[in-house]
Structure 1
């Protein structure tokens, strides 16, 4: 079977399985199915670390001066939580279909221990928190088997994790291997910036300064700025602001919180400043955004 036929088959499988996503989450919590038939305009999003493989349709991501496309030929690897803008290309005839894998750190560490000091494993180190690489035939074959076992609950529970490990292995030994390796490496610039991002994630409501964050990374302010941008493609203050805006948006949309209360919850001192920055970033006011989601 050729590559196009395999991708078509995987798309049909995902279409069948998507209605069982909740049950599949219990069996394979690190796998999420993606399926949609409607295009999406360029919209700010906040992606958590993971690997996205698409078998139909495509997406284009924008982060400052960088543009990246992920589709049936290129997969996306995110190794840090990252805010960026994303455009979705999907139709009923060519839907967006794929899978997203969370990277289980323990599973990744065990895999690296099994590889050991093998001379054949020499990935180039990578600093960026967002990368794309060719969706190889090996990964496609493993994805095909993963979706096959997801059709059968017992197979999914017993065999699924080993297939995920196989996919991680192919990513680790492929062009993005260095980026994935950096997730578990210590005392690299990436690991130090990653530690700062975890602090932002847990303390974003506090009055965090660049000096504090640079001290957390044990870097000078100028070195911190340089290394932070290498990983996230944005500045520390811009990252913190967009992180707060995304968190506030979730509180408004999912928890029904008023904009002013959400603003205070995420660390804004001025509700009017929050509303201005929300509209500048998302292209509409918090109220307009909440109303749009309710209509969808």
Structure 2
């Protein structure tokens, strides 16, 4: 792996391989997302619904400001406000006789909109409540830094170790400082398979190394167990170029360079590196898996939390109104 120090020490061929570092972590068991009831609608749909509700209220408010006397005679603007909100919450609606035709039309259109929205939401909700999630939290070095219970393993006697020893600032300085906390260790390549099988599988450590090396280790484990117990980070970091090196002014480098280019053009290097059974099997592990199961409190406690918070807030508002009325009386 070429580096400035190595480039100064010798001559080298064209890059025979380019890549980057990746993180491999152990997969934990399938989990249930208690906030899955929010997933039938995307954030844009939730925002659009809120914007539409505010638009309806704004039109009614504008009419109130234009005709304050007439609105005051028929009971004020609060009736219209509660009606549009109650429609969204699927509660009963009172139709004041004094309402104009366009107000009834607006509320009717709003009813149709919320009907389509709520039916679509209900249709997707039951299926989503049965979805299990495969947690994949460690995608970047920052993710590992933010978890005080997870340590990192890097290759010993490597260019990466030299880099971490000498880096002075940035996120990799923070990674290097983990060694003082006992959260950074260096293992040789000969130790990697055992480290993967024990420390990484247990979830207490993650392994950081070249993407091809990691895929080879995971592929070997898959061939033994028949399943994917690990996942690779989606994005890489610390890009590198692999070369063949020799001492300065060695003429063999020129001869090797022609052969390296020929092997690259033929695709042999890539074939040799990836010609491993199950090499890419664990590259794209699904994040969600659907199961046909009965619903339990683990599926629904998020819904009841929202309900409890809403009822508590309503009780507090009602209590405040009651205290205010008693103080005025």
Higher relative contact order (CA 8 A, sep 6+): 2
Shared fold per TM-score greater than 0.5: no
Indicate the structure with greater strand content: 1
- TM-score band (shorter)? under 0.3
Normalising by structure 1, what TM-score? Answer: 0.23
Normalising by structure 2, what TM-score? Answer: 0.21
Q: Which of 1 and 2 has greater Rg?
A: 2
